Amino acid sequence: MSSTQSKTLLDIADLAVYFPIYGGILRHQVGLVKAVDGVSMRINRGETVGLVGESGSGKTTVGRAICNLHRAMSPDVQLGGNIWFESQSGRVDLNGLRRKEMLPHRSEVSMVFQDPFSSLNPRMTVQQIIEGPLRIHEPELNRKALDERVSQLLDRVGLQPQYAARYPHEFSGGQRQRIGIARSLATRPALIVADEPVSALDVSVQAQVINLMGELQQEFGLTYLFVAHDLSIVYHVADRIAVMYLGSLVEYGTAEQVYKSPRHPYTQALLSAVPRPDPDGKRAKRTVLEGDIPSPLAKPTGCGFRTRCPVAKKECAGLVPKLTDQGEGHLAACLLLD
């Protein structure tokens, strides 16, 4: 790292992503889905930050906001906060950039999608899929150079270069995800947002893909935001872990802090659900959360987790807890910890 290069690659400050809901004959706005509500965190160069939470917690929306893909979900999306990115051309706020404004930075911020079956165009060959970003960001490359780059990328992710002439339906799920990883590497990005990259794969293939991503990180100096719902997987791949619930961060710290000494009741509940060998039956009783995650359209007052929290008190309904330091940079948002 050069002396002029910042250690922090991405700095998210009070990120908010609200999607309007319309109804009635005249399509009046009837509400807001607060998918992300005041999320702040930093990602340093070369590290992996794991972002975990239940379905509907907002973690995928955070990843899409970083890649400036939220308008693909709703053109009327309402944004707040900042996503400061240390690009090659200087520090830039990615939040709210228009399509043309974001284009110069797309080569530096890439994404691996959750579903390898729907994230690849079935009408395009592997060659066309991988060389697509190169045609946009490196138009000076000729046919020979494009072919060589695609062959190198396929070989690096463990696929035969001759597979470039095939179509996505001719591959297994694990192979398709490798193609998606190769596409994300094409422009040599600094940051890759991996949105549950192994959740749609067989267990036997998950470890292979995770190991591949680790090797690529070491080789190319990549930085990952690893989005997942499985804390046990995130613990093995991440340097730091952020836990989300109902659009907000509830805990943030090193992987050891969050996994070995969770402070927030929600994190404790997630960890209690992780399968572990227990031949002597001495494992602590599992914490079962009652009910479903509340709708972002009607969040509970005060602490968003209080309606399912096993230790909630009356005061939890009146105040919104803030992330506070529980020691050594371990942050948690719970009134009872204070």
Per the CB < 8 A criterion, the answer to whether 109 and 94 are in contact is yes
Q: Is the pLDDT of residue 335 over 80?
A: yes
Higher pLDDT, 8 or 289: 8
Cα–Cα dist 119/184, whole Å: 12
Tokens describing residue 21? 């809901």
Helix (DSSP H) and strand (DSSP E) numbers for the chain: 10, 12
Q: Contact, 86 vs 9, CB < 8 A?
A: yes
Q: What is the rounded average pLDDT of the residues 118-135?
A: 95
Percent of the chain with pLDDT over 90: 70
As a whole number of angstroms, the distance between CA 130 and CA 126 comes to: 6
Predicted confidence at residue 292, as pLDDT, reads: 78
- Show me where the domains of the chain are located: 8-108+187-276+284-337
- Cα 282 to Cα 81, 231, 269, 279, 286: the distances in Å are 46, 21, 17, 8, 12
Total residues belonging to the chain: 338
CB 178 within 8 A of CB 215: no
pLDDT band at 290 (very low <50, low <70, confident <90, very high): confident
Model confidence at 323: pLDDT above 80: yes
Which residues have a Cβ under 8 Å from the Cβ of 7 and sit 6 or more positions away? Answer: 1, 44, 45
CATH number belonging to domain 8-108+187-276+284-337: 3.40.50.300
SS3 readout for 37-100 = EEEEEEEECCCEEEEECCCCCCHHHHHHHHCCCHHHHCCCCEEEEEEEEEECCEEEECCCCCHH
Residue 282 pLDDT: 57
